[in-house]
Amino acid sequence: MTVAPSGPEFPIQDIPFSYRGSWLNISPVVAENTYADDLHLISHQTGLHPVLRLAPAGAGTTVVATPALLSWRNGPGRIDAVYDGPDTLRIRGRRLGLRIAAAARTLTPFSGTYLYLDPVDESHVFTSYETGRRYRITVLSGALHRAEGVQALGAADRFLDLPGDQHWEIAIEEYATARRPYTASSTFDQLCHDRSTEFTAFVDGVASWRSADTPAAELAAYVLWSATVAPAGFVTRPAVLMSKHWMDKVWSWDHCFNAIALAAGDPELAWHQFQLPFDHQDEAGALPDSITHSEVLHNYVKPPIHGWALRHLRRRLPEPPDRAALAETYGRLARWTGFWLEARRAPGHDLPHYQHGNDSGWDNATTFDDDRVLETADLAAFLVSQLRCLADLATELGEPADRWTREADGIRTAMLRDLWDGERFTARNPRTGQRRASRSLLDLMPVALGADLPAPIAAALARGVETHLTTHGLATEPTDSANYVADGYWRGPIWAPSTLLVEDGLRRAGYTGIADDISQRFLALCEKSGFAENFDAETGAGLRDRAYTWTASSYLILAAAQEERRVTGG
């Protein structure tokens, strides 16, 4: 049994085994912060649903995961799994048995999994109410040892056993209602070779600059590659989900970081990432809060970082977008900006407001402890950046640009006049006018304006940023704050997007030394603790969802920039 080389090993507890374009993965993560003892086949159609439990027969079995191949190993026994396209897995065993069991046991008219033998091709099929899909197991070599619960109803066990005393191979397919009987078009080893080749080509595109100084680049690329799904449901384009754990959505600012990271190596996928939320822009011009296979949520929005992101994206694209694509993007970005100017400014106010911390992306930051509806400096700064981007686009397209420049200048003036207290930016209640400062890093985010800030204010923000810097990076609440919580979401942990926005702003404001320090600490953090949703600011431990794509993307963005500076001496 030969196996093709297939890239870096990774911990299956942290990162799921999946394939570009697939809505499936194999993982022990079966719900939010819930880990099963055995690996499961998970589907993300209609949500995260563990469909089949994959339990090897031998006690003490270990798992080795690489981008192309997943293996269970126990002494001389071994089971290997590889993807045969986005909706099919091939699994083969030698001297190690495997039980494939329904993960949802109870079968009623409204829940559970049903198992039957298909008389058309003698395959066994599990049907899942939760995903609305079928999962067909076809034996390609060897024979089943046992089938239990065929056509059973209620709480009966439903499983298939593959023997531990012979070689066997099966295919597992996910499909809707019917498809032709499965026939193998490639050998198992050829599939391993093909998957390895595909992944290597992807890495060579998005991280061609990688070196021994960026040891996590390949794994970061795998997190992106494996979290990519084909268009389905409300997902209108090829999309990089935030994770193929429970954060299996696209949020309307997370996608920007993935687009930037992909731009140089996979420009088509990068462009799709940027545009996807705009496909669901509503009549008011607002982007949805999030999109996934079976829902689009508009209960919140996310901050308007899209002008900032578009500039970074375009700088990295190997070829510029054509005029039609640029004109469409200009119209979409103008409508998104118009939402903030028209629907989110109180009468007589120059500054827009958030309705909740969730709108900012910093859900529970201490900025929002006293009031939820707030005019904040981060929002104003992002909008200024977006308005300046629109002015540039308008000029490029031969459209009037003055209105965008006037709005940008007016909001910048109001931000400095109404929210700066001489040392720090404050947040203001738009109804009462009451202002309040917090110790959240959010209040320092206008540093993202870079050189568009007055020099004394940029200097004060740079000093403020340093008070958030721990051994591992930028704490979102200083560790000496009374409100600091180690696993407090935006009340302490280190996050990738805040790191990247601050680092970029400081660099453009001329504070390259601090920017370099922030970048190096974040890169070292990912190399130590992986690509978690966020990290403990004091220990560096990964927290929450452990395979988060905007973290992987931020690593790739910062690592690529570091390598470029090393080569050019910049």
| Same domain, residue pair 179 and 229 | no
Tokens coding 222: 């795998």
Could you give the number of structural domains in the chain? 2
| Same domain, residue pair 189 and 233 | no
| Same domain, residue pair 109 and 188 | yes
Q: Can you give the pLDDT at residue 284?
A: 98
Residue 489 falls within a domain, yes or no? yes
Q: Can you give the pLDDT at residue 110?
A: 64
Three-state secondary-structure class, residue 66: coil
Q: Order of strands across the sheet with 70-74?
A: 62-65, 70-74, 77-83, 88-94, 167-175, 133-141, 124-128, 113-117
| Same domain, residue pair 513 and 447 | yes
- The CATH number that applies at residue 560 is 1.50.10.10
| Same domain, residue pair 125 and 272 | no
Q: Can you give the pLDDT at residue 6?
A: 58
d(C-alpha 342, C-alpha 330), whole Å? 18
Paired residues of 431 in beta bridges: none
Range(s) of the domain holding residue 282: 207-568
| Same domain, residue pair 81 and 222 | no
Tokens coding 295: 């829902």
Residue 3 falls within a domain, yes or no? no
- List pLDDT tens digits, range 231-288: 999 999 999 999 999 999 999 999 999 999 999 999 999 999 999 999 999 999 999 9
Contact (CB, 8 A) for 11 and 17: no
Residue 265 falls within a domain, yes or no? yes
Residue 6 falls within a domain, yes or no? no
d(C-alpha 257, C-alpha 551), whole Å? 9
Residue 545 falls within a domain, yes or no? yes
> Which candidate, 54, 58, 56, 59, places its Cα nearest to that of 42?
54
Residue 10 falls within a domain, yes or no? no
Q: Which of 197, 230, 252 is the C-terminal boundary of a domain?
A: 197
| Same domain, residue pair 173 and 152 | yes
Alpha helices in 131-283 (DSSP H): 188-206, 217-226, 254-262, 267-275
Q: Which of 168, 197, 226 is the C-terminal boundary of a domain?
A: 197
| Same domain, residue pair 507 and 561 | yes
Q: What angle do CA 302, 237, 399 make, to 5 degrees?
A: 65
> Which candidate, 386, 377, 11, places its Cα nearest to that of 223?
11
Contact (CB, 8 A) for 199 and 225: yes
d(C-alpha 361, C-alpha 289), whole Å? 9
Residue whose pair of structure tokens reads 């032709």 in the numeric block? 180
Count of Cβ atoms closer than 10 Å to residue 16 Cβ: 27
| Same domain, residue pair 243 and 190 | no
Q: What is the DSSP string of 103-136?
A: S---BBTTB-EEEEE-TTT--EEEEETTTTEEEE
Residue 417 falls within a domain, yes or no? yes
| Same domain, residue pair 151 and 268 | no
Q: Which of 139, 163, 197 is the C-terminal boundary of a domain?
A: 197
| Same domain, residue pair 149 and 213 | no
Residue 143 falls within a domain, yes or no? yes
d(C-alpha 467, C-alpha 465), whole Å? 5
- Those residues of the chain that have pLDDT short of 50 are 1-2, 4-5
Residue whose pair of structure tokens reads 């973290």 in the numeric block? 551
| Same domain, residue pair 162 and 213 | no
Q: Can you give the pLDDT at residue 155?
A: 82
